[in-house]
A and B are shown apart, each in its own frame.
Chain A
Amino acid sequence: MQKLANLAIGTKGEIRSISDSDLEQKLLEMGCTPGEKIEVVRRASFGGPVAILVSSYVLSVRKEDALKIDVQLLKDE
């Protein structure tokens, strides 16, 4: 298991859990449900937000919030 904040661009994985209740609720309703596949697509400079591809759209979250998101890495097929 890895924290989303620590993943490099291009890494693929599955969302496992989100440890902050407020954050969890917001991300859930935007489709980041447990088991959903994601891919890290961008990282802003200076430790800025992380952008992920989730159910065919791009979502950006702050690095601090990305630390609260657990991701199970997927092997490339």
Chain B
Amino acid sequence: MSKKQIKIALAGNPNSGKTTLFNAFTGLKQKVGNYPGITVEKKSGKAKLSDEYNIEIIDLPGTYSLFPKSMDEQVAQQVLCNNTDEDYPDVTIVIADATNLRRSIFLLTQVIDLKMNVVLALNMVDIATKKGILVNVNLLSEELGIQVVAINARKGQGIESLKQVIIKTIDEKPKKPFLDVTKIFKDVIEKANEIRGVENNYASFLTLCKQKLSGELLNRCALNQLCKQHEIIPERIQAKETVKRYKAIDKVIFSCVKKGAPVGKYQFTKKLDDLLIHPFFGYIIFLSVLFLLFQAVFSWSAYPMELIDGLFTDLSIWTANAMPKGMLNDLVVNGILAGLGGIFIFVPQIAFLFAFIAFLEDTGYMARVSFITDKLLRGVGLNGRSIIPLLSGAACAVPAIMSARTISSWKERLITIMVTPLMSCSARLPVYALIISMIIPPDEFLGFNLQGLVMMAFYLLGFLAAIGVAFLMKFIIKSKESSNYIMEMPSYKIPDWKTVIYTIVEKVKIFLFDAGKIIIAISIVLWVLSSFAPGKKFEQIEQKWTGKEDAEMHIAADKLEASYAGIIGKTIEPAIKPLGFDWKIGISLITSFAAREVFVGTMSTIYSVGDDNIQSIQERLKNVKNQETGEAFFTPAVGISLMLFYAFAMQCMSTLAIVYRETKHWKWPVIQFLYMGVLAYLSSFIAYQILS
């Protein structure tokens, strides 16, 4: 028997528990994509509703109303207001925070007025009760004319009843509009209905407020004309309607919500805030949190990384012996497995970093960090909300740049986008980790891991560079618009572990598959480039050394130099020699322009071509000798120069692509690429010349 498939949209304010409810519905069966043409993340998933129904559920971006101010909120409006949209839901769930009922049902009442089949999921009733806020659910349902279900999204309570109610609501529209806009703006709404050819009073009202509902471009002229005739100023009617709507909501709240004395630790958030946003200790605590974060990411992930490294080494040895000798064996072991190992080894660090960021967001601490840093960041042309993109930039610039969308000022958002890639992302982590492990001894310094401290210094350097460049851009980029910063400070919560784990799984997946694809492809191309040479060069080399001492080693080294990869590396060597790099690093630099993490894979491939001793990459690189001096090639000067180059250069095609999509202009990614390139070359040059 085939089941019926229905579409569900999940809407609600930020911090209302929307994502937690979404996770409770779908588990790990989620899909992250994009809405067509824009970069707003689209999260959807499938779930079973009953024996009769399956659902496809979309997690809409958090919004306070159907008057969007950002691209994210625009998406929510688009899906809900346009019944020809492919995601237009059969049933909409609006989730509301019971501790904050007045504000969170504003959106709900708008959805009711759009005549949608809607259910209210009332979350956090338990916390409300503790705070002394008692909600009469049955009365609320009666007043609103829709079904209301009390749930606890975290504990998964009430989900079954919610499912039952959804089924009931498939054929049940709200009984009455919550606020009848025709009573406020009589004839105009009817005329707007006529122009639009749709009998939906509230949707017509929204178009009169200059809201761009999709597919309404044709009607725009006629609607503007209508506004003129009736002397309607869109901003004024929108404000008037909002005030009336809140008055109606206040009446409902008055009858359905009783306020009693708070029970227990109601003061928890206040007390914690006394410390965390203290004018002095707040900053100290923030810096300590960052410090701990990087120490932890570095030292906690060391053990699983060793494990993965060992696993890949064993796998390579096993494969090398199990497969018949020859070209294919070489390709699999030194091309594919070497590349794969280079990716998997960084999963622990990425997982820990995203875990920390998800944890800080979910507890509500990030909002406090924005609050105490807004003024400071604005001094350099950023915004308190830039702290989230900047910190997320320490994980990956791509989602970080996307998260800059919450900044409403275009100039501040643009500057945030332009400097976020200077933050050391997780793709630089492999490069730093590899080089640090070679040039910095694993000693303790003042009780801290010295390698961890150097790592932190590089993260700090990225941050300082970002601040410096932002400051310059503040004077270069012109803008007339005013900037706003209005932000809710949610109550502190113990993070929902499921949400944190889902975030980690999602990000690691993206890293492994999206970055992994490129890395594997490049690994194979590299293997080809370094295993073949023009003409009969390889044969000549073999003839030259056959029978002599250490023949195999010399043949391998000469072959690499003669190969296509060697030719490319040699060509660019004069340009990078002043930075302390040789042609082998040159090859890695070229391949890293697709994505930085390719560096480790490339180094690993280049130095393993023709090498029959399977070693870990660290050991292999440590043994590389400088051909002129005979000493170890990776001196501190070369290492620092290389790390600086990676810290500043824009070597990520995905980031450039996302910057183009977010700024809608090629100018910005090009400027970004150039300024970062110049910064990288200059700082590497200076560092190498001083240190060597």
Instruction: Using CB atoms, name the residue of chain A closest to B270.
Output: A41
Q: Is the CB of B489 within 8 A of A51?
A: yes
- Within the complex, which residue of A33, A45, A49, A56 is in contact with B485, where a contact is CB–CB below 8 Å? A49
B486 within 8 A of A: yes
CA distance A29 to B235 in the complex (A): 13
A27 to chain B, nearest CB (A): 7
Q: Is the CB of A51 within 8 A of B371?
A: yes
Q: Is the CB of A26 within 8 A of B486?
A: yes
CA distance A26 to B409 in the complex (A): 14
What are some 26 contacts across the A-B interface (CB < 8 A)? A22-B482, A25-B67, A25-B239, A28-B246, A29-B64, A29-B67, A29-B242, A30-B486, A31-B103, A33-B247, A42-B273, A42-B371, A45-B279, A45-B282, A46-B375, A48-B376, A49-B485, A51-B489, A55-B103, A56-B99, A59-B488, A59-B489, A61-B486, A62-B374, A62-B484, A63-B375
Q: Is the CB of B375 within 8 A of A44?
A: yes
Q: Is the CB of B239 within 8 A of A62?
A: no
A6 within 8 A of B: no
SS class of chain B's interface: helix, strand, loop or mixed? helix
Q: Could you tell me which residues of chain B, from 270 to 302, have a CB within 8 Å of some CB in chain A?
A: 270, 273, 277, 279-280, 282-283
Q: A22-B482, A29-B106 are in contact. Are A46 and B246 (CB under 8 A)?
A: no
B672 within 8 A of A: no
Mask for B367-386, Cβ within 8 A of A = 1, else 0?
00001101110000000100
B69 within 8 A of A: yes
Mask for A49-74, Cβ within 8 A of B = 1, else 0?
10100011111111101000000000
CA distance A31 to B246 in the complex (A): 7
Interfacial chain A residues near B489, Cβ < 8 Å: 51, 57-60
Q: Could you tell me which residues of chain B, from 244 to 267, have a CB within 8 Å of some CB in chain A?
A: 246-247
- Within the complex, which residue of A42, A46, A51 is in contact with B376, where a contact is CB–CB below 8 Å? A46
Q: Is the CB of B384 within 8 A of A49?
A: yes
Instruction: Using CB atoms, name the residue of chain B closest to A56.
Output: B100
B65 within 8 A of A: yes
Interfacial chain B residues near A24, Cβ < 8 Å: 239
B102 within 8 A of A: yes
CA distance A59 to B65 in the complex (A): 16
B487 within 8 A of A: yes
Q: A33-B246, A42-B273, A59-B487 are in contact. Are A26 and B371 (CB under 8 A)?
A: no
Q: Could you tell me which residues of chain B, from 346 to 383, have a CB within 8 Å of some CB in chain A?
A: 371-372, 374-376
A34 to chain B, nearest CB (A): 7
B158 to chain A, nearest CB (A): 22
CA distance A41 to B376 in the complex (A): 20
B38 within 8 A of A: no
Mask for B58-82, Cβ within 8 A of A = 1, else 0?
0000001101010000000000000
- Within the complex, which residue of A21, A59, A63 is in contact with B235, where a contact is CB–CB below 8 Å? A21
Q: Could you tell me which residues of chain A, from 1 to 52, have a CB within 8 Å of some CB in chain B?
A: 20-31, 33-34, 41-42, 44-49, 51
A25 to chain B, nearest CB (A): 6
A56 to chain B, nearest CB (A): 6
Q: Is the CB of A48 within 8 A of B246?
A: no
CA distance A9 to B528 in the complex (A): 68
- Within the complex, which residue of A28, A42, A58, A63 is in contact with B242, where a contact is CB–CB below 8 Å? A28
Q: A25-B67, A25-B242 are in contact. Are A48 and B372 (CB under 8 A)?
A: yes
Q: Is the CB of A60 within 8 A of B372?
A: no
B243 within 8 A of A: yes
Instruction: Using CB atoms, name the residue of chain B closest to A48.
Output: B375
CA distance A59 to B239 in the complex (A): 19
- Within the complex, which residue of A47, A48, A65 is in contact with B484, where a contact is CB–CB below 8 Å? A65
CA distance A47 to B384 in the complex (A): 13
CA distance A44 to B488 in the complex (A): 14
Interfacial chain A residues near B683, Cβ < 8 Å: none
Interfacial chain B residues near A45, Cβ < 8 Å: 279-280, 282-283, 372, 375
4 further contact pairs, Cβ within 8 A, besides A29-B106, A58-B489: A48-B374, A55-B102, A57-B103, A57-B488
Interfacial chain A residues near B99, Cβ < 8 Å: 56-57
Interfacial chain B residues near A61, Cβ < 8 Å: 485-486
Interfacial chain A residues near B487, Cβ < 8 Å: 49, 59-60
Interfacial chain B residues near A26, Cβ < 8 Å: 69, 484, 486
CA distance A28 to B372 in the complex (A): 24
B26 within 8 A of A: no
Instruction: Using CB atoms, name the residue of chain B closest to A46.
Output: B375
B503 within 8 A of A: no
Q: Is the CB of B64 within 8 A of A28?
A: no
- Within the complex, which residue of A25, A33, A49, A63 is in contact with B371, where a contact is CB–CB below 8 Å? A49
CA distance A30 to B277 in the complex (A): 23
CA distance A51 to B273 in the complex (A): 11
| 7 closest Cβ pairs, A-B complex | A48-B375, A45-B279, A29-B65, A58-B489, A31-B103, A28-B242, A55-B102
Q: Is the CB of A33 within 8 A of B243?
A: yes
CA distance A42 to B384 in the complex (A): 16
Q: Is the CB of B106 within 8 A of A31?
A: yes
Instruction: Using CB atoms, name the residue of chain A closest to B257.
Output: A56
B519 within 8 A of A: no
CA distance A24 to B484 in the complex (A): 11
Interfacial chain B residues near A23, Cβ < 8 Å: 484, 486
Q: Is the CB of A59 within 8 A of B486?
A: yes
Most chain B CB inside 10 Å of its own CB: which residue of A26, A51, A61, A62: A62
CA distance A17 to B376 in the complex (A): 29
Q: Is the CB of B246 within 8 A of A58?
A: no
Instruction: Using CB atoms, name the residue of chain B closest to A42.
Output: B277
B238 within 8 A of A: yes
Q: Is the CB of B488 within 8 A of A58?
A: yes
Mask for B100-143, Cβ within 8 A of A = 1, else 0?
10110010000000000000000000000000010000000000
A35 to chain B, nearest CB (A): 9
CA distance A55 to B133 in the complex (A): 12
